[in-house]
Structure 1
Amino acid sequence: MKRINIIKSILFTSTIILGVSCTNLDEEVLDGVVLDNAGGGTVNSASLLVSAYEGLRGFQDQDKMFALDEMSTDALVGPTRGGDWDDNAKWRQLHTHTWAPDNIEIRNAWNSLLSQVYNCNLVIENGTATQISQARFLRAFYYYNVIDLYGQAPYREAGSSLEADPKVWTRQEATAFVISELEAIIGSLPARVAGDASIVNVDAAHFLLAKLYLNKGVFNAADAAGPYTFEAADMTKVVTHVDAINSSLATDYWDNFKPTNNTSPEIIFSSKNIRGGQGGGIQSRWRMGMHYQQTPDGWNGFATVAEYYNKFNPNDRRIKNSDQYIIDAFGNNVGFQVGQMKNGKNRDEFGRDKDASGALYTNIPAGTVNLKDRKGNPLVFTAALTLITGGATLETAGIRSQKYIPDEANVGTPENDYALMRYSDALLMKAEAILRGGTGVNDLTKFAQLVSRTNVAGTVPTTLDAIYTERGKELWYEGWRRNDMIRFGKFLEQRELKPYVSDARYILFPIPADALFNSNLKQNPGY
């Protein structure tokens, strides 16, 4: 039996990936899949479905899809800090819209998404009925992200040769395919399991269909940069699918991001993590910006743009959770952090847990000692930030963030599930769709709860501008900012740290250079 290298046929591009020769058919097989020359070998569809689920962890990391979806926007920036965090300028390129096809995060996101499409296809061709319906949903979700980011999507027809170049859907064709797939399987998907939204479910399908219909005017536009036409019938579809979701809001916003967030009724679909097991990537949501001396210690990298932070009321609970148990464990609030940082429990001013003799510190309450940076200066995070920073502000420039509450019992491989879809997003999609011409009525009781849990006075958003503002506050760092900015016509505009209007080509990311070995793929305009 001859082994077919998954990496070679992965990505549907017949390209060289990770240094594997495109003529070598005897490399190590991934995921336990072995096929003979005729494709009649053994396929472990259960194992492949597990792999397709585990591929969702790619959204938890600070790079790939998260970087493309958030760092390209007005919210998140990755400044170069002296000799750290330059990485060939890849982070700064994303924020300033100066990327090119060789940006490695653009390539890695493309590879990550399409490798999971490949796993899903193997399950669809070889699995049981239940496995197939789950794989079709997961494939639709991965394809949605390909459509959104890249504007075209490679595909293989069932039974086609792995040696042939994949065919390619246009953005309009891919959108129609994904919608048709979801509509075909939605009746066979199970109800959401209470306490575990990581299993494909009917509510997740309704959510994804709502997201597709809401963005259909963008995806079907003749020019990716617009203008966009939002058909009333599509907007009514958004309303219909949101109304079909059987969900409710969590009482506390932070219930969606705590270590035991699987219990939140608001999370519609998630990537599951198990304490001490897989899922270490989600720690990036507190480590990527936190300082080395903080508790938990961080990587002192990414920051929130002040212009974005200033859209919030400083007392908004969504960006400042100072519950006592959090202060007792970590010394500082979770959310956005600005100003003087404090010690964690039994830590000194440099974040150390032992004295010079090696004895553990005890009886030092968290939040009672002012932290210092590595040079002994006060660790005071400031809103002022430049793309390249150094000197006295090297370690302190920029507002830092924690979207998820660190798992105190295991900060390296925590239990927090990663929320991919939330009901609050669905409610805001519905409100936007109604304002764009859809037929329906907002649930004012649910919206009142959405507003009241922020801990600041507010009103139900009744204009598109208000919806846009609220989405930016409610869904910060959840991977939707770029998508929202494009739909609302804000993405190319000048802003802090990008004081110019971007060229229209930056609405889409380029097709990675290696992928263009597939002659059916064409580079996106302008690249």
Structure 2
Amino acid sequence: MKRINIIKSIFFVGTIAFGVSCTNLDEEVLDGFVINNEAGGTVNTAAFLQSAYEGLRGFQDQDKMFTLDEMSGDGLVGPTRGGDWDDNAKWRQFHVHTWGSDNVEIRNAWNSLLTNVYNCNLVIYNTATDSQKTQARFLRAFYYYNVIDLFGQAPYREEGTDITDNPKFWTRKEATAFVISELEAIVAKLPARVANDASIANADAAHYLLAKLYLNKGVFNADNAAGPYTFDAADMNKVISNVDAISSSLAPEYWSNFAPTNNTSNEIIFSSKNVLGSGGGIQSRWRMGMHYNQIPDGWNGFATVAEYYNKFDAADDRRQHTSPSIIQYYGNPIGFQYGQMYGPEGNYKTNKDGTKSLMTEADYKNNVPYVHYLGGVVDLHDRNGHPLFFTKEVTMITSGPTLETAGIRTQKYEPDHANLGNPENDYVLMRYSDALLMKAEAALRGGTGGAATAQAILDQIDLRAKLPAGSTPATLDGIYLERGKELWYEGWRRNDMIRFGKFLAPRELKPTTSDPKYALYPIPADALFNPNVTQNPGY
């Protein structure tokens, strides 16, 4: 049997860790994979590539990478509400920076990312088409980027090593250089982005990811993960040239990027595709904070602090979005929800005999032809009969009359009313407005164009948000503010806060400066059985 070894990247809690060998490769391959074995078996590379794509759905859920990227920042909190939402304090630990290496969401993120590195390698090092291998190399680069960003080091296995050997670890600088070299080697081989479907690896996505890497290279190559950081002008010009190579444009309307039909937006550079009726965890984007009595109902968990909400001007279109159909279906605008919440009194269908009757959940699911008539709205209440009035005030442990209502809630994606449990919205992983803001930042950090280039970009994005040109100044502080408003809850806040030197600072519900160790997450305990890995400093 001929073997080629790859990165061991699956860690099952309490059972499988680095250094564990597998004696029956036909039964379970953990350290390597098999090609051309004696029985004539082959690896189904198409299936593993599909698995690598489906792994992107892990970014849609409310936990794992989303929690690590957003709840550790200045906007999102996961308060304990009486006996709900405690889970051994795992949610609260992120916002206040008290997590340890035993936090299950940190372990789950590590496992998810490296499982998909493993799936990609099964394609890259087996008999696959050139297209399959190129797509897998791009996906592996994307997963590795997130490992580098979150954990600061990455496991790898040299080709030809024995499967019983422990994988080696790249330093953050080494892993960054590897991912950049991979992307630069394949970008010309990747196809152009397919119209109305950004879920396939494409050249624009590779240029975007290269821009993201060069923008953060000063962070990833720093001697100390907490800074200080030096941003080289040559790297900033690489950011600019890669953004300029992207063939895209801003969507005329901000919220079209998050609608059930968002696959049609040219602004979306790369996405995780959902097919109607088989969507991933994207429903979490409207259920994670919404109350049980709202339409659609939610889990009444996560909230936004007032300090973050107050960054938005009242006229900013990115703060809230409404339409007759949104009010008709749900009673409230989407976006940030603050104040009294409402529910439709009744949405009606027109029957064949001309009479009207109330729509049922089955009617929505079965797409029964209907004409809606808004029967009026009603004030909603919580389960204790208190008005469902979401407050700006929230504490990490809530109780009393505002137990269920403390904290501003959010819906970044418009609910797919015909299929609330398995929506069609594609999940946005890369968006052109982010690329433009990266270019503006790079221009201000020493790249060509300077403040004039940055201001032109900021004006373009502000005008789309229904704000006057000049609303955001062409300064690094202005870029930081704009990124927080444009990209809220899209998975970039922690990354941005670290690069701008804001992540460890005090903020609402986190009154003290964090220990510098929190600039990186700890390597999960299971992975530490490998003697080649050293725990990140401070843990």
Q: Does 1:499 align with 2:527?
A: no
Distance 1:321 1:13 in 2: 41
Between 1:200-209 and 1:17-26, the stretch displaced more is 17-26
1:375-394 equivalences under 5 Å are 375-394=384-403
2:468 to 430, 446, 457: 457
Q: Which residue of 2 aligns with 1:101?
A: 101
Report the 3-state secondary structure (helix = DSSP H, G, I; strand = E; otherwise coil) of the residue aligned with 1:268. strand
Q: Which residue of 2 aligns with 1:514?
A: 526
Which residue identity lines up with residue 483 of structure 1 in the other structure?
N
Q: Which residue of 2 aligns with 1:239?
A: 240
RMSD across aligned positions (CA): 2.6
Q: Which residue of 1 aligns with 2:282?
A: 282
Q: Which residue of 2 aligns with 1:262?
A: 263
Distance 2:250 2:10 in 1: 45
Whether the 8 Å contact between 2:218 and 2:231 is mirrored in structure 1 is: yes
Which residue identity lines up with residue 56 of structure 1 in the other structure?
L
Whether the 8 Å contact between 1:15 and 1:518 is mirrored in structure 2 is: no
Whether the 8 Å contact between 1:276 and 1:415 is mirrored in structure 2 is: yes
Q: Which residue of 2 aligns with 1:468?
A: 480
Whether the 8 Å contact between 1:338 and 1:383 is mirrored in structure 2 is: yes
Distance 2:442 2:85 in 1: 40
Which residue identity lines up with residue 287 of structure 2 in the other structure?
R
Distance 2:458 2:11 in 1: 48
Whether the 8 Å contact between 1:329 and 1:366 is mirrored in structure 2 is: no
Q: Deviations over 1:384-414 (max 9, x none)?
A: 0000001211110000000000001101110
Whether the 8 Å contact between 2:249 and 2:266 is mirrored in structure 1 is: yes
Distance 2:23 2:87 in 1: 33
What is the Cα deviation at residue 243 of structure 1?
0.5
Distance 1:109 1:92 in 2: 17
Between 1:216-225 and 1:321-330, the stretch displaced more is 321-330
How many residues in Structure 1 have an aligned counterpart in Structure 2?
Answer: 510
Distance 1:173 1:391 in 2: 52
Whether the 8 Å contact between 1:461 and 1:470 is mirrored in structure 2 is: no
What is the Cα deviation at residue 17 of structure 1?
3.7
Q: Which residue of 1 aligns with 2:366?
A: none
Distance 1:81 1:14, change over 3 A: closer
Q: Deviations over 1:191-223 (max 9, x none)?
A: 000100000000000000000000000000011
Distance 2:409 2:29 in 1: 38
Distance 1:516 1:417, change over 3 A: same
What is the Cα deviation at residue 16 of structure 1?
4.9
Distance 1:489 1:125 in 2: 40
Which residue identity lines up with residue 406 of structure 1 in the other structure?
P
What is the Cα deviation at residue 455 of structure 1?
2.2
What is the Cα deviation at residue 41 of structure 1?
4.5
1:85-96 equivalences under 5 Å are 85-96=85-96
Distance 1:41 1:34, change over 3 A: farther
Distance 1:25 1:253 in 2: 53
What is the Cα deviation at residue 453 of structure 1?
2.1
Distance 1:375 1:404 in 2: 29
Which residue identity lines up with residue 416 of structure 1 in the other structure?
N
Distance 2:170 2:51 in 1: 25
2:502 to 490, 509, 521: 490
What is the Cα deviation at residue 463 of structure 1?
0.3
What is the Cα deviation at residue 237 of structure 1?
0.4
Q: Does 1:171 align with 2:168?
A: no
What is the Cα deviation at residue 313 of structure 1?
1.3
What is the Cα deviation at residue 337 of structure 1?
0.1
Structure 1 unpaired stretches of 5+: 355-361
Q: Does 1:12 align with 2:8?
A: yes
Q: Which residue of 2 aligns with 1:358?
A: none
What is the Cα deviation at residue 158 of structure 1?
2.3
Whether the 8 Å contact between 2:289 and 2:302 is mirrored in structure 1 is: yes
Q: Which residue of 2 aligns with 1:151?
A: 152
Between 1:232-241 and 1:444-453, the stretch displaced more is 444-453
Report the 3-state secondary structure (helix = DSSP H, G, I; strand = E; otherwise coil) of the residue aligned with 2:428. strand
Whether the 8 Å contact between 2:204 and 2:269 is mirrored in structure 1 is: yes
What is the Cα deviation at residue 461 of structure 1?
3.7
Whether the 8 Å contact between 2:273 and 2:427 is mirrored in structure 1 is: yes
Whether the 8 Å contact between 1:280 and 1:412 is mirrored in structure 2 is: no
Q: Which residue of 2 aligns with 1:181?
A: 182
Whether the 8 Å contact between 1:214 and 1:234 is mirrored in structure 2 is: yes
1:64-103 equivalences under 5 Å are 64-103=64-103
1:46-445 equivalences under 5 Å are 46-126=46-126, 127-277=128-278, 279-344=279-344, 346=346, 365=374, 368-440=377-449, 442=453
Report the 3-state secondary structure (helix = DSSP H, G, I; strand = E; otherwise coil) of the residue aligned with 1:205. helix
What is the Cα deviation at residue 25 of structure 1?
4.7
Report the 3-state secondary structure (helix = DSSP H, G, I; strand = E; otherwise coil) of the residue aligned with 2:154. strand
Distance 2:528 2:317 in 1: 46
Report the 3-state secondary structure (helix = DSSP H, G, I; strand = E; otherwise coil) of the residue aligned with 2:270. strand
Distance 1:291 1:42, change over 3 A: same
What is the Cα deviation at residue 373 of structure 1?
0.7
Whether the 8 Å contact between 1:114 and 1:142 is mirrored in structure 2 is: yes
Report the 3-state secondary structure (helix = DSSP H, G, I; strand = E; otherwise coil) of the residue aligned with 1:343. strand
Distance 1:461 1:300, change over 3 A: same
What is the Cα deviation at residue 452 of structure 1?
1.5
Whether the 8 Å contact between 1:258 and 1:405 is mirrored in structure 2 is: yes
Whether the 8 Å contact between 1:102 and 1:513 is mirrored in structure 2 is: yes
Distance 1:515 1:339 in 2: 46
What is the Cα deviation at residue 178 of structure 1?
0.3
Distance 1:165 1:20 in 2: 13
Distance 2:376 2:165 in 1: 61
Which residue identity lines up with residue 526 of structure 1 in the other structure?
G
Whether the 8 Å contact between 2:6 and 2:159 is mirrored in structure 1 is: no
Distance 1:47 1:329, change over 3 A: same
Distance 2:384 2:301 in 1: 17
Q: What TM-score do the two structures reach when normalised by structure 2?
A: 0.90
Distance 1:422 1:194 in 2: 15
